[in-house]
């Protein structure tokens, strides 16, 4: 089944080092669409990502820093990149050596299309 985001996610997944992409409802962490590798649990990734992003938004709010944009979690063997739209967030799971700068630019383009 295809959604308005299927083509967008397919494009992101073609970037070097990207292993999964999801569009998630920011508020409740439910996946709207995803492009995952075999064996990945999209619902769990969506929930965890949305929760982390909400925390970032809360702390930004507490500090009076305004809206939250791009977020990146870096781990020993990979990265989780999140970019928020108004209601939806875009989540990308990537390998450690992926080009984050490029991923960030592409995510920005995609979120503009999403709104």
Partner 1 sequence: MADHIRGWSDELARDPSSLVFIPLADTLRQQGDLQMAQKFVIRGLQRHPHNAEAHDVLARIMADLGDLQSAFDEWDMVARLHPGHVGAIKGMAFIRFQQGRHEEAEQLLMQAQAQATDADEAISSAIATVRKSVATQSLAALVGDPRRLYADILASDQAAMCVDKDGLVVAGAYYDADGTDVAHEIGASLSGVSGEAARATEHLRIGQWRSIVFETEAAVVGLSPAPAQGALDEGGLIVVAAVPDTPLGLLKRVLGKCLQRTRDWLAVGAS
> Do 49 and 62 meet the contact criterion of CB atoms below 8 Å apart?
no
Can you tell me which residue has the tokens 């809360």?
58
In sign, the C-alpha dihedral spanning 32, 11, 49, 109 is negative
Binding site for partner 1 (CB under 8 A): 41, 44-45, 48-49, 51-52, 55-56, 58-80, 93, 96
Nearer to partner 1, 7 or 102 (CB): 102
Give the shortest CB-56-to-partner 1 separation in angstroms.
Answer: 5
Give the shortest CB-4-to-partner 1 separation in angstroms.
Answer: 26
Nearer to partner 1, 7 or 97 (CB): 97
> Do 46 and 22 meet the contact criterion of CB atoms below 8 Å apart?
yes
């Amino acid at each position: 089944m295809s959604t308005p985001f299927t083509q967008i996610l397919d494009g992101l997944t073609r970037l070097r080092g990207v292993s999964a992409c999801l569009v998630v409802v920011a508020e409740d962490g439910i996946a709207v669409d995803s492009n995952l590798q075999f064996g990945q649990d999209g619902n769990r990734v969506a929930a965890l990502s949305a929760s982390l992003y909400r925390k970032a938004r809360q702390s930004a709010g507490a500090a009076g820093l305004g809206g939250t944009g791009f977020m990146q979690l870096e781990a020993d063997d990979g990265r989780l990149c999140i970019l928020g739209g108004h209601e939806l967030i875009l989540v990308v799971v990537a390998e450690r050596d992926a080009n984050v700068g490029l991923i960030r630019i592409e995510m920005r383009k995609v979120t503009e299309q999403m709104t």
